[in-house]
Amino acid sequence: MPYLANHADEWGARHRAGLKALLRMHGAPLAGKAVNLITTDDVAATLKPIWNGPGNNCGSRLRRLIESILRSKDVEPHPAAWGRLREKLSKAVAKVTPKLTLKHCIVFVRSCPGRP
């Protein structure tokens, strides 16, 4: 993944690992295609299984990563640009569920029956 290697110093180790995993787990349908042959329909089909609307979520992060990779290769017209994809994917903004904090976990563990 030359794009990730070229930009590795811009991200922390955890973020880099997350991007690699995101591409490996969900970007595989595009991996074997030449970048100049990737279409908006290809990008939409790759995103649909994990898409739950624009926002800060797995689908949106993958779309932005694909967009960045294709931009680095000067692909035009840009198949991953939101302006091209918004009619092919849901525009409903995803509900963001707050992550549990350590405090929530401690309260949960203390409430478990049979806890010593």
Contact 94, 57 (CB under 8 A): yes
Torsion sign across C-alpha atoms 84, 89, 93, 96? negative
pLDDT in tens, the chain (116 residues): 688 999 989 999 999 999 999 999 999 999 889 999 999 999 999 999 888 878 778 888 999 999 999 999 999 888 999 889 888 887 765 555 555 666 666 776 777 776 65
Query: pTM for this structure?
Result: 0.74
Domains in the chain: boundaries: 2-111
Helices within 33-115 (DSSP H only): 40-47, 58-72, 82-85, 102-111
